[in-house]
Amino acid sequence: MRLAGPTSPLRHRDFRLLVTGTASSALGNAITPVALAFAVLDLGGSATQLGLVVAAFSLVQVVTTLFGGVLGDRIPRRVLMQGTAAGNAVVQALVAGSLVAGFATIPLLIVLGAVSGFLSSLSRPSQMAMTRLTVPADVLPAAVATRNLLQTSASMAGYAAAGILVATVGPGWAVAIDAATFAVAATCFHRLRVAEAAPAGATSMLADLGDGFREVFRHTWLWLNIAMATIYHLLYGGAQDVLGPVVVGEGIGREAWGFAMAALMAGFVVGNLVALRWRPRRSLYAGALLLCLTPLFPLAMALSEVLAVIVAAAFLHGLGLQLYDVFYDLAIQQHVPADKLSRVYSIDIVGSFVARPLGLALTGPIASALGFTDWLVVVALVMLAVEVLVLLSRQVRTMESAPRR
């Protein structure tokens, strides 16, 4: 697969700057959770306190992402992205400094984690909306796939390096790398030169957000996919993060769960590589069909004790999910007006992930009552049902990708 051919989005300066910035921060953001986990434990923290540090970041992100979407359609996205990346560089530098200098406390890490989550939530919708401003329309499908590929690869590299960095240089210096990646991102975003539309006349934040929701509900395919994602993440998050390590890690072996997660990541990468070259005419429908591969993973965890079966199912889950994500992202890029794009992305992000914390909290009690295997089968069947429901939508089946020009 060629990333730098004559039709590659990487030939465009602004796109190179955008993906360098987003991939750089994705690399650092994969390192920091691992480093912070060990930092909290080194400070004598419990699993509950570690959960509070992680939850502070996640909760603030969910609460403020809608605000970030409104801002992304009100002020120049480049300015917002640059400012939040620079702010996060400072925050992570404070975290790193507190750990290296020895004055870190768990309450301090919770507060700084909340600030970092706030800044990240402001920027993410704008980063996604910026893609179509950096390349010509005919290159947009490859641009979406390339952006996803580079961010996924950077995250994989970050997770792989995190344990080594913590063991060799310590959590503080590992977080310092995250601060440096945000500084790189801020520099890249500062150098962007894109033509952004002038914001509309001044209105209230709630009015702007209402316009975003009206745009979402104007497209059946859009709100239907968001509703499906809400149920998907409500159920699957606990199946993977709570039950997987127990059912596979304890049932077959802890190394088996590591192989399964590696296969999942490999599926993401292969999915992105396929999306670089494959251009189905009805790409959203193709993506929705491939998403129906995802129930295979929880089903394999429930019904098989053969490692090869579980690894194959994890790979197919990652492959189908990533191709769906790319084609769904492309549909948003091509069919939502530019002046509402950040708000729509923010509503999509919040709607997709708002139920995940609840699912993580409820998975243990429900699975203990019903039985782990039975609950994993239920999860797989409900996932398949909501995915098929999306396929029944006429808009999903018939909507075509914007023609190449």
Rounded average pLDDT over 313-317: 96
* 201: pLDDT strictly greater than 60: no
317 Cβ contact partners less than 8 Å away, ≥ 6 residues apart: 264, 267, 293, 294, 296, 297
Q: What whole-number distance in Å separates Cα of residue 27 and Cα of residue 162?
A: 10
Rounded average pLDDT over 74-93: 89
What is the CATH number that goes with domain 209-398?
1.20.1250.20
What confidence category does residue 1 fall into, taking pLDDT thresholds of 50, 70 and 90? Answer: very low
Rounded average pLDDT over 205-212: 81
What confidence category does residue 199 fall into, taking pLDDT thresholds of 50, 70 and 90? Answer: low
Q: State the pLDDT at residue 404.
A: 43
* 163: pLDDT strictly greater than 60: yes
Q: Is the pTM of this model over 0.85?
A: no
DSSP 269-284: HHHHHHHHH---TTHH
* 5: pLDDT strictly greater than 60: no
Question: Half-sphere exposure (CA, 13 Å, Cβ side) for 65?
Answer: 20
Q: For residue 20, how far is the Cα from the chain centroid?
A: 17
Where are the domains positioned within the chain? 9-137+151-191, 209-398
More confident: 36 or 376: 376
Q: What whole-number distance in Å separates Cα of residue 104 and Cα of residue 91?
A: 13
Does the domain formed by 9-137+151-191 have CATH 3.40.50.300? no
Q: What whole-number distance in Å separates Cα of residue 134 and Cα of residue 13?
A: 8
Q: State the pLDDT at residue 386.
A: 96
Rounded average pLDDT over 83-99: 92
Q: Which of 104-113, 190-199, 230-239, 372-381 is most confident?
A: 372-381
What confidence category does residue 363 fall into, taking pLDDT thresholds of 50, 70 and 90? Answer: confident
Q: State the pLDDT at residue 198.
A: 57
Rounded average pLDDT over 9-34: 86
More confident: 74 or 326: 326
Question: What is each CA distance from 140 to 323, 331, 346, in whole angstroms?
Answer: 15, 11, 20
* 405: pLDDT strictly greater than 50: no
The closest alpha carbon to 4, from 183, 199, 139, belongs to 139
Q: For 256-289, how does the pLDDT look when each residue is reduced to its tens digit (9 = 90+)?
A: 877 888 888 889 989 989 988 888 989 999 999 9
* 247: pLDDT strictly greater than 80: yes
263 and 293 Cβ atoms separated by less than 8 Å = no
DSSP 102-152: T---HHHHHHHHHHHHHHHHHHHHHHHHGGGGSS-GGGHHHHHHHHHHHHH
The mean of the pLDDT values for the chain is 85
Which residue type, as a one-letter code, is found at position 193?
R
How many other C-beta atoms are found inside a 10 Å radius of the C-beta of residue 161?
A: 16
Q: Which of 221-225, 295-299, 340-344, 370-374 has the lowest mean pLDDT?
A: 340-344
